[in-house]
Amino acid sequence: MPATKEDKTRYLTLLIALCLITIIMSAYWPLRNNDFVSYDDEKYLKESVYVQNGLTRQGMTWAITTLYNSNWHPLTWLSYMLDTELYGGVNPRGIHMTNLLLHMIDTIVLFYLLIYMTKNAVAQPPLSLAQPPLPLVQPHLVVAGMVATLFALHPLNVESVAWASERKSVLSTLFWFLTMLAYCSYVERPSVKRYMTVMSSLALGLMSKPMLVTLPAVLLLIDYWPLRRIEGGEHPGQRLLQLSLEKLPLFVLSLLSSIVTIVAQRKAETIFPFSVTPLGFRFLSAVQSYASYVEKTLWPMKLAAFYPYVELSMSWELWLRVVFVVGVSVAAIVLRGKRPYLLVGWLWYLITLLPVIQIIQVSMAPMADRYAYVPVIGIFIIIACYVSDVSSRLSLRKVGLILIGVLVISSLSVLTYRQVQYWKDSGALFGHALEVTRNNYVAHNNYGTYLLKAGRVDEAIDQFSRGLKIMPDYPLLNFNMWAALTLQGRYGEASRYFLLKATPFLTKGGNPYFYKMISLSFMRQKNYDEAIRYAQKALLNQPRDVDALQYIALSLTATGKYEEALTYFCQGLQIEPDNWQLHYNKGLALKRLGRLKEAIESLNEAQRKQNKEGGSAPSLTSPARGQ
């Protein structure tokens, strides 16, 4: 029996989906060899005991209740813990491959979502025009394929995929698209069960990243087009009110998520007051960012992991950006009758960027590539629908369109492949950022941290110095300068950075990683009381941090408090029973107490664990993994 037209269309759709997967794998091929970077990866992965321990009851409870790192996203934490179980530990390749898999799924779900939404909304070619040579390629399929391809390959999206700590973007976006699919299903056949599915998907997305707070507004947008639910017998205003009330439970979920996020940000003291950045500056900066995102979408060059604020002046460049944003907004409103996709796509872009456009400033950067992961879909919709619209009206040659498409896909693939390589490690990432941006004190700091960890202390100090010339009061730069000078034994010179500049940074709750670095530094100076104090600060944030427990135990051992030290060694072994350093140092403490039989047992156990792990011979002066 010959295949029907519907079967052929289904096969073609499946073929496009497979092609999307193939081009994603090709463009992101270098990701398999990428390492973690010194940009939140320590906080989320390398320094998180709960993530390191995998899916445990304690870990799951912590994921649901914690506001760690000024966010509440329990599903993101749980996904990292699941990775630990699947890949046998906190494995960079495994985590990157999970991110890539989620990006693939996001792309395919977006493709089918757009087919579903636009099947009756995208303009068909006029009957007077000649039939296209590929009759199965319907305009809505072309639009869906173009948007999905741009989403799959655009270099702006590399940060969301290649950055291990940005799992929340690719995970939450999956729930974003699933929520929209569930909503389209609800619109087709309304029922309480289908509405609850919409609410559940939105709730799961908000538990992955609060970026979904604008999704109910986006659902109102697609009510206008392509679902055309506002059209009808009633007055459009009344119909819009009815549709808004229909989404009231969804808006309530978004409001609750917003409240939790603000509480978390306030607790971490990351919200900048208006005395630091006035409201007028924020609005001008927001307009500049809106225009800059469009610029980077159309010309994706000089992309960086961090973009510093630039000095705003009422120059012609700023006014040009203001005119651009206002002009496109006016044009979208004026042309909404003939080309409703212009209004919907542009408002999609404007609205979804609102939570991260820094009107409420919670970041030291005015913009970031990862913030554009969902918003630029609005721009892609405008581009795809306009190309489809114009080509169908003018009967453009299909060969020419195909050649242009191949050129765009090839160019984006090359750019994305190269951008993925910049995320190979901290050196490549922040070295590139310094090449393509100016006055980037964060890049100087993070590149210096990379050099410091590589033992290139003099070069690290040079980078920290360059950063401090730009931002002399930045606490993290001062802290790292202190750490680098301390490593060289320049304690007097280092003290002015730590005591005067870095201390405020550490009194805000801080990061266990930094507290442990300070503790280790004081141990090297044989200032064991201070070493214990800072290790205890680390434990306040991470009670199961084995390194911090061991630093306290070793400091107590060095001061002759062997019984007290044993308590901390035993606590560490309850968390990591296979840690041979703990067994070894516990054995030494037992030996000092004269408990030789127990000491021998502990030292023998350390030898067995060490042989199994393949480590080198332990010593009291190099006790922990953190060193």
Q: Which of 422, 457, 490 is the last residue of a domain?
A: 422
Nearest Cα residue to 83 out of 202, 6, 187, 171:
171
Is residue 355 in a domain?
Answer: yes
Give the pTM. 0.86
Query: What DSSP state is assigned to residue 46?
Result: I
Number of structural domains (the chain) is 2
Other beta carbons within 10 angstroms of residue 409's beta carbon come to 17
Nearest Cα residue to 225 out of 6, 103, 357, 389:
389
Is residue 271 in a domain?
Answer: yes
Instruction: Name the least confident of 422-431, 482-491, 597-606.
Output: 482-491
Q: Residue 424 — very low, low, confident or very high, per pLDDT cuts 50/70/90? A: very high
* Alpha carbon of residue 493 to chain centroid: 37
Integer Cα distance of 445 and 429 in angstroms: 12
pLDDT in tens, 29-45: 999 999 999 888 988 89
Phi then psi for residue 621, to 5 deg, are -85, -10
Q: Which of 387, 422, 457 is the last residue of a domain?
A: 422
Same domain, 528 and 417: no
Q: What is the pLDDT of residue 129?
A: 43
Same domain, 413 and 517: no
Same domain, 289 and 192: yes
Alpha-carbon distances, residue 60 vs 56, 261, 506 (angstroms): 6, 20, 28
Nearest Cα residue to 204 out of 240, 238, 168:
168
Is residue 281 in a domain?
Answer: yes
Same domain, 514 and 414: no
| Dihedral sign (CA 289, 293, 294, 299) | positive
Is residue 441 in a domain?
Answer: no
- The amino acid sitting at 423 is W
Length of the chain, please? 627
CATH number where 567 lies: 1.25.40.10
Q: Residue 624: pLDDT above 50?
A: no
Q: What is the pLDDT of residue 350?
A: 98
Q: What is the pLDDT of residue 613?
A: 66
Is residue 523 in a domain?
Answer: yes
- Six-digit token pair at 109? 């779900």
Q: Which domain holds residue 94?
A: 5-422
Is residue 453 in a domain?
Answer: no
Same domain, 417 and 516: no
Same domain, 392 and 540: no
Same domain, 412 and 536: no
Same domain, 384 and 528: no
Same domain, 383 and 522: no
Is residue 458 in a domain?
Answer: no
pLDDT in tens, 92-132: 999 999 999 999 999 999 999 999 999 887 755 544 444 44
Q: Which of 422, 438, 461 is the last residue of a domain?
A: 422
Report percent pLDDT > 70 for the chain: 90
As a three-state string, the secondary structure of 345-379 is HHHHHHHHHHHHCCCCCCCCCCCCHHHHCCCHHHH
Mean pLDDT of 449-468: 95
Q: Residue 441: pLDDT above 90?
A: yes
Integer Cα distance of 336 and 433 in angstroms: 40
Same domain, 42 and 149: yes
Q: Residue 538: pLDDT above 80?
A: yes
Is residue 484 in a domain?
Answer: no
Same domain, 414 and 530: no
Same domain, 240 and 128: yes
